[in-house]
Chains A and B, each alone.
Chain A
């Protein structure tokens, strides 16, 4: 399964992809995480591509994706045509105030990630709310694996953020199950 995570720099889209890839690895799957990089990373748009597969991953570069996560409008516009038939399109409704052009033959999920994160007490976990929705809808990896990945990735001073990130994942899963 191929994933594209895209948004503004600072929205944590790189981390979303990394946590998913990590969780895939923990489950013994083959994974790649590939970032866009360059000057645009600093405050501009950022995106990363994740491939999770039972067999070896051939190309880490994708031009089609089963899952596209757009955290802002430019990302929605840029990546909507990457979606395969029956693909999953996740939109951060807190930022995206319009409809995508691509609607037919795909599953669209809209979440108010920022508001949900804010209610949890930290706007920064909006990305994990979205990741929760992604794993909830796609079932690509288990919640437990994502939690383990968070524990691996958030170490040192960042360890204190593990709990709120877990809450965000759970909240995202819950919200997506209601859609």
Chain B
């Protein structure tokens, strides 16, 4: 396939269509409005439906409704908008409805700003909405990876009957890179949901989809079913990337866009003869605890870099325990750290430990 230059947001949109998504509901919010704009133009061309909603609250519930019918459905938003969707996401997780969410994270908390940030990591990976549930959370670091993970997000959503989330940020959303798109998925080959979807109770018992049971013992059973499912996902779907970790004495941990900036830091350090590597979770839930833990056998120092107050840092520490020291560097509020800034911070940290 030919390479094309596209913005991250548009790349996600096109990838979704190629994955068989024909329904998109969304509300404008910076810095992701190019995605609904793209879908509003593109979906009618492929016989799909785009609807600009009255709010993110309505959006998530329209996703709920569309997902009930078994179709591939998607929305995208940015931080405050995703907060508004939390109730519905929790409903969908419990009702076991597949759908793909995209959060192009911006600076927060509150109204924050519209620049790239990673402050929604906890919300994405530790809950966000009410109750016991998990989302499969994919964190792309390049536009090509955003394309690939969008397709994967739909497949995993269907496979496990669960909402999935693409955790991007304003930088990835706005930047352009050459990408190769996958072929269009033949809609007739998409997973069959006829055993549970609401399609009309013809010649069968009614299909009821709810996130509700008034009997705690039955609700507990529903909870346990989710727990089993999450265990299965943790077993099968952990994804991560390691860059120059084979001989690394120091490993930077980072996800998404920052991981990419950190790659430049690895290159800078290597030029100076410092053996630095990078560990980048691709699924931030399920988190790659084991592969990260394994690195403690040969690595002396872990250096976590994020665009938040240290959210993934908790998972890094969970993986590493007290086996090796973990240092931390961050920028917040929409400030993107430069490679030099990170490298200087890393050198300072090394100096402190010599």
A interface residue numbers (CB < 8 A to B): 18, 21-22, 25, 30-35, 37-38, 57-64
Q: A37, A58, A63: which contacts B260 (Cβ < 8 A)?
A: A58
- A38 touching B114, Cβ below 8 Å: yes
- A60 touching B3, Cβ below 8 Å: no
- A64 touching B171, Cβ below 8 Å: no
Give the complex CA separation of A59 and B261 in angstroms: 4
- B177 touching A32, Cβ below 8 Å: yes
Give chain A residues whose Cβ lies under 8 Å from the Cβ of B337.
61
Q: B174, B338, B341: which contacts A34 (Cβ < 8 A)?
A: B174
Q: B175, B262, B340: which contacts A33 (Cβ < 8 A)?
A: B175
In this complex, how many residues of chain B approach chain A with their Cβ under 8 Å: the count is: 29
Question: Given that A33-B176, A59-B260, A62-B338 are known contacts, is A25 also in contact with B3, CB under 8 Å in the complex?
Answer: yes
Q: What's the count of A-B pairs with C-beta under 8 Å?
A: 68
- B174 touching A35, Cβ below 8 Å: yes
Give chain B residues whose Cβ lies under 8 Å from the Cβ of A64.
340
Question: Given that A34-B171, A38-B115 are known contacts, is A61 also in contact with B5, CB under 8 Å in the complex?
Answer: no
Give chain A residues whose Cβ lies under 8 Å from the Cβ of B3.
25
Question: Given that A59-B261, A60-B171, A61-B171 are known contacts, is A33 also in contact with B177, CB under 8 Å in the complex?
Answer: yes
- Write the nearest CB–CB distance from A179 to chain B, whole angstroms: 30
- Write the nearest CB–CB distance from B23 to chain A, whole angstroms: 28
Most B Cβ at <10 Å: residue of A25, A34, A60: A60
- B176 touching A37, Cβ below 8 Å: no
- Write the nearest CB–CB distance from B56 to chain A, whole angstroms: 21
- B261 touching A37, Cβ below 8 Å: no
Most A Cβ at <10 Å: residue of B170, B175, B263: B175
B179 to chain A: closest residue by CB: A25
Give the complex CA separation of A63 and B340 in angstroms: 7
Give chain B residues whose Cβ lies under 8 Å from the Cβ of A63.
338-341
Give the complex CA separation of A61 and B90 in angstroms: 35
Further contacts, 10 of them, CB under 8 A, given A18-B176, A60-B175: A21-B176, A33-B176, A34-B174, A37-B114, A37-B174, A38-B114, A59-B260, A61-B338, A63-B338, A63-B341
A14 to chain B: closest residue by CB: B176
Give chain A residues whose Cβ lies under 8 Å from the Cβ of B170.
37
Give chain A residues whose Cβ lies under 8 Å from the Cβ of B176.
18, 21, 32-34
Kindly state whether residue B40 has any CB partner on chain A within 8 Å.
Answer: no
Kindly state whether residue B152 has any CB partner on chain A within 8 Å.
Answer: no
- A58 touching B264, Cβ below 8 Å: yes
Closest 4 CB pairs of A and B: A63-B338, A58-B263, A59-B264, A58-B264
- Write the nearest CB–CB distance from B7 to chain A, whole angstroms: 9
Give the complex CA separation of A62 and B175 in angstroms: 13
- Write the nearest CB–CB distance from B306 to chain A, whole angstroms: 15
Give chain A residues whose Cβ lies under 8 Å from the Cβ of B114.
37-38
Give the complex CA separation of A64 and B174 in angstroms: 21
Give chain A residues whose Cβ lies under 8 Å from the Cβ of B265.
59
Kindly state whether residue B178 has any CB partner on chain A within 8 Å.
Answer: yes
17 A-B pairs within 8 Å (CB atoms) are namely A18-B5, A25-B5, A30-B178, A34-B171, A34-B176, A57-B177, A58-B260, A58-B264, A58-B266, A59-B260, A60-B171, A60-B175, A60-B260, A60-B261, A62-B338, A63-B339, A64-B340
A38 to chain B: closest residue by CB: B114
- Write the nearest CB–CB distance from A45 to chain B, whole angstroms: 15
- Identify which of residues 1-16 in chain B touch chain A, using a CB-to-CB cut-off of 8 Å: 3, 5
Kindly state whether residue B37 has any CB partner on chain A within 8 Å.
Answer: no
Give chain B residues whose Cβ lies under 8 Å from the Cβ of A35.
174-175
Give chain A residues whose Cβ lies under 8 Å from the Cβ of B264.
58-59
- Write the nearest CB–CB distance from A76 to chain B, whole angstroms: 20
